[in-house]
Structure 1
Amino acid sequence: MTAPKRKKARANGEGTIYQRKDGRWEAAGYVLAANGTRKRVRVYGTTRREAANKLAEKVADSNRGLPVATADSTLGDYLTYWLGTVAVHRLRENTHTRYASCVRLHLVPGLGTKKVARLTAKDVRTFLDRLRTTCQCCTQGLDSERKRCCAVGECCQKQLAPSTETYVHSVLKVALEHAVCEDELPRNVARNVKTTTHQPRRFRPLTAAEARQFLDAARADRLHALYELALRTGLRKGELLGLLWEDLDLTTGTASIRRSLQRTRTGGLTHLPTKTRASERRIALPTECIHSLKEHKGRQDKERETAESAWQDSELVFTTPTGGPLDPANLTRRFRNFLNRAGLRCIRFHDLRHSTATLLLEQGVDLVVIKELLGHAHIGVTASVYAHVRLRLQRQAIDTLGNALGGQDDDPDDPPAAAVVL
């Protein structure tokens, strides 16, 4: 009698794979968790092969020493894993630093002990409500060394700005979304929580008269070309400081925006890619900017001769007197001093960019053209930021129409212009 054929054993490390009642395939195995222990993870797929491949990928990462987040780990452990192994490769360094600060100061103290799998929308809502109403001096012990305010029993009720609360909520949503994509969570509970809409930061762009005064005063400044380029094109501070001479074509009057100069914690002054893919663009240079850039080039050549061996050949358009890159923080201080000397009201450097867009809108330039000039990723960004300008223009248009409809000079028997067939 022939013995029954034995079922082939699973390969070592393959884990458990079976088909669920709902038709999906589930695979489970042990991997290295974020807290250093070995945890059992489960992944899902529409076919057996898909589930097996997902599990094999997690086991391979675990064998290389990379921890894998699990749904039964705490939110604090998961956020530590996400920052160190996922976000660090997807975010710019300064953005990653802000995310890490947000996690350390707010998310871990408030929700860190919660299990990821048991986190509910109510937990997130309660956390945000508490974050909104809690004094940050008390929570973070900001005055413990200074021995004042909350440290001596006189709470100052220093609460978070609404924009900061929204930012904390956004970081949590992004982190949990990764867990959903990795099949660790069925849904992102943070997305079910709606935060209060805060008023955007108000800015007061330069009026046309103030802009003319600004340009007149800038002619005597060493960075005349930079200030004029900022106001006439709306380039960001980092984009201006990252410009190389090879990016400019002063013959055809164009500039290619390819990079941004920023100071990072680990690399110091560093050339980084533009803020978004849409920010990498080619723009037309105004005639006035072409003239000022040519004058700036001549001044820079004289500075190179004066500096001799001390000159740093960075190929940057805007540099220190010895050819080195301009620090963004130093430019901010220099800009503030320039405004004081010129007798202009104090604005942020970024408000020059807002001034560009506002003045263009007031001159009737199409929103799409402004979006491309500023390098916004979506036209919705341009429309929302400058909604107040568009509302004012709508009112002017309505008033103009009202004047036309209420006029008494027209002959009532004359047909409207729109009825004329050409």
Structure 2
Amino acid sequence: MTTPDTNPSPSTSSRRARANGDGTVYQRKDGRWEAAGYVLAVGDTRKRVRVYGTTRKEALAKLTEKIAASNRGVPAPSAQGSVAAFLTYWLETVAVHRLRENTHTRYTAVVRLYLIPGLGRKKLSKLTAKDVRTWLDQLRTTCQCCARGLDTARDQPQCCAVGKCCSKRLSPLTIAYVHSVLKSALEHAVREEEIPRNVARNVRMGTPRPRRFEPLTAKEARAFLAATEGHRLHALFELALRTGLRKGELLGLRWEDLDLAGGTASIRRTLQRTHSGGLTALPTKTQSSERRIALPTPCLHSLEQHRDRQRQEREAAGVDWQDSCYVFTSLDGAPIDPANLSRHFTALLRRARLRRIRFHDLRHSAATLLLEQGVELVVIKELLGHAHIGVTATVYAHVRLRLQHDAIDLLGNALRHPADATAKPDDSDDLPFCAAPVH
């Protein structure tokens, strides 16, 4: 007589315990876990989808995500559906949970302006690398006034509407960004096994030239710091130039992050303006951006003076004071809008009679001046909070090349024959460029 099995396997019991409509989860012969269930499809129909994972939990999580999107009325994509349908699904159900709000807004603009008009009508399953390459080449050579009808919206048309193309084309950096958004979307389609491979990865775009920046020289940096003397945000501008902190990191500093006695600052957040939440404190740009840095002695003095000034502003504001706990605030204690900080910065450049640069160029200026003083690249990488030292090396490659020329010239002077040295003395009193002090 056969004894009934009173201890079914975990997979069997868990499968039986799932409610109607939750789908099934089981382990395949190849060791992978498969989850299957019915979700909403294009055309207000329902279809059975299958997802896979290396563990039961992973497969179940993928299925649960699809069912949740279906319950919100978002149809699941299909390889037989259009690229536009998949991009819309990806933005609304996947990217929105994995990207920062501002990044998601930029991705949405790229999809709306370029990807859907260019590739949206094609079927996802039939999209090829040749389609992507041909479209990118066309995008590179197409006037955007003509393609997007920008000229017709002007009060006085000056391009296509009057028969004179202005040839307003996208920059190589923008083309590369559009390509990267498409690669990210198709990579998710591969993970969900809608398509076998990411065809956008087979399209070679080449490396676009990085955006040029003009950091302040040592003389200009001293002039800028002199112009900030007496400004209520002098401590912020000095901190930006001496440490290379990002604008959002400076505005996100709270007094609890500063250890003025120990001379350190902990970078834990960034303050940004978002469409939904206004001024919002967000995590740092990357995990490496969350760091602790040493504060220069001049910054310690200016921060102590800034704290005293803020106490006076708190007393003057009285009940109208907003206790935001931020180091740098408006006169009423509210956080500072990044756009307002940029306006203060531009006014200070005019006061110092300096050329107009971006606020972010203060960060580049700090790194460039440190490199010119012979500071190790790894130290600069940790100070700036770059995720990889390769980022630091790439961004400041032109500075390192100039320093190599200076080093080679110094070596040439050392190897010069004594007779040549006496015949052609160097009457200059200037120090070598790479050894010039920065005050």
**Contact persistence 2:36–2:63 (CA under 8 A):** no
Determine the structure 1 residue equivalent to 2:367.
357
Higher mean C-alpha deviation, range 82-91 or range 192-201:
192-201
1:107 match: 115
How far off its partner does 1:365 sit?
0.6
Q: How many angstroms does 1:281 deviate by?
A: 0.5
Question: How many angstroms does 1:347 deviate by?
Answer: 1.0
- Asked whether the equivalents of residues 43 and 184 of structure 1 are also in contact (C-alpha less than 8 Å), the reply is no
**What is the identity percentage for the equivalent residue pairs of Structure 1 and Structure 2?**
68
Which amino acid is 1:145 matched to?
A
Which of 269, 280, 295 aligns to 1:270? It is 280
Of 381, 388, 391, the residue aligned with 1:381 is 391
Which secondary structure state, in structure 1, belongs to the residue aligned with residue 307 of structure 2?
helix
SS of the aligned residue for 2:344 comes to: helix
Aligned-pair distance for 1:381? Answer: 0.6
Q: Take 1:52 and 1:210, find their aligned partners in 2: how far apart are those partners?
A: 58
Q: Distance in 2 between matches of 1:358 and 1:274?
A: 23
Q: How far 1:18 moved relative to its partner?
A: 12
Q: What SS does structure 2 have at the residue aligned with 1:321?
A: coil
- Mapped to 2, the partners of 1:64 and 1:188 lie a distance apart of 28
| Unaligned stretches of 5+ residues in structure 1 | 1-9, 411-422
2:329 to 319, 322, 332: 319
Deviation at 1:198, TM superposition (A): 1.9
The one of 123, 128, 141 aligned to 2:149 = 141
Q: Give the alignment of 1:111-122 within 5 angstroms.
A: 111-122=119-130
Deviation of 1:265 after TM superposition, in Å, equals: 0.6
Letter of the 1:378 partner, please give it. H
Is 1:234 aligned to residue 216 of structure 2? no
Aligned equivalent of 2:170 = 160
1:184 to 2:194 alignment: yes
* Residue 226 to residue 53, structure 1, CA distance change in 2 (3 Å): closer
Match of 1:7 in 2: none
Q: 1:24 to 1:313 in 2, by over 3 A?
A: closer
Aligned-pair distance for 1:226? Answer: 0.5
**Secondary structure, in 3 states, of the residue corresponding to 1:144?**
helix
Letter paired with 1:381: V
> Partner residue of 2:289?
279
What TM-score results when the alignment is normalised by the length of structure 2?
0.84
Q: Which residue identity does 2:337 align to in structure 1?
A: D
Residues 102-143 of structure 1: CA distance to partner in whole angstroms, max 9, x if unpaired? 000000000001111111000000110111111111111112
Higher mean Cα deviation, 70-79 or 277-286? 70-79
Question: Which residue is equivalent to 1:87?
Answer: 95
CA contact (8 A) 1:173 1:190 kept: yes
What is the CA–CA distance in structure 2 between the aligned matches of 1:119 and 1:271, rounded to whole Å? 40
CA distance in 2, matches of 1:286, 1:18: 59
| 1:213-236 Cα deviation digits (max 9, x unpaired) | 111221121111001000000000
Deviations 1:229-264 (A, max 9, x none): 000000000000111111111100100000111110
Query: Take 2:385 and 2:251, find their aligned partners in 1: how far apart are those partners?
Result: 16
- Per the TM alignment, residue 155 of structure 1 is displaced from its structure 2 partner at its CA by 1.9
Q: 1:54 to 1:94 in 2, by over 3 A?
A: closer
Matched position secondary structure for 1:99: helix
1:28 deviation in Å? 7.2
> Could you tell which deviates more after superposition, 241-250 or 154-163?
154-163
Q: CA deviation at 1:27?
A: 8.1
2:133 maps to which of 125, 135, 146: 125
Q: Which of these residues, 77, 82, 87, is aligned with residue 74 of structure 1? A: 82
8 Å CA contact 1:121–1:193 kept in 2: the answer is yes
After TM superposition, the structure 1 = structure 2 runs for residues 56-75 of structure 1, keeping only pairs within 5 Å, are: 57=64, 60-61=67-68, 64-65=71-72, 67-75=75-83
Q: Give, in whole Å, the separation in 1 of the partners of 2:59 and 2:299.
A: 60
**Could you tell me how far 1:287 is from its partner in structure 2?**
0.3
Q: Distance in 2 between matches of 1:234 and 1:226?
A: 11
How many residues align? The count is 399
Match of 2:347 in 1: 337
Give 3-state SS (helix, strand or coil) of 1:279's partner: coil
Structure 1 position 57, deviation (Å): 4.8
Q: CA deviation at 1:98?
A: 0.3
| Cα RMSD for the two superposed structures | 2.9
The 8 Å contact of residues 32 and 67 in structure 1, kept in 2 or not, is answered as yes
Structure 2: distance between partners of 1:233 and 1:98: 29
Query: Aligned in 2, Cα 1:194/1:303: closer, same or farther, shift over 3 Å?
Result: same
Alignment partner, residue 255 of structure 1: 265
> Structure 2: which amino acid aligns with 1:257?
I
Pair 1:79–1:403, CA change in 2 (3 A): same
Provide the secondary structure at the position in 1 that maps to 2:196.
coil
2: CA distance, partners of 1:45 / 1:356: 46
Indicate yes or no: 2:231 matched with 1:209.
no
C-alpha separation in 2, matches of 1:246 and 1:27: 47
Q: Distance in 2 between matches of 1:58 and 1:266?
A: 24
Give the match for residue 419 of structure 1: none
**2:59, 2:358 → 1: CA distance?**
55
SS in 2 for 1:31: strand
Match of 1:322, SS state, is: coil
Structure 2 stretches lacking a partner, 5+ long: 1-14, 421-439
- 1:414 equivalent in structure 2: none
Output the amino acid matched with 2:205: T
TM-score of the superposition, structure 1-length normalised? 0.87
- Rounded to whole Å, the distance in 1 between the matches of 2:245 and 2:66 is 47
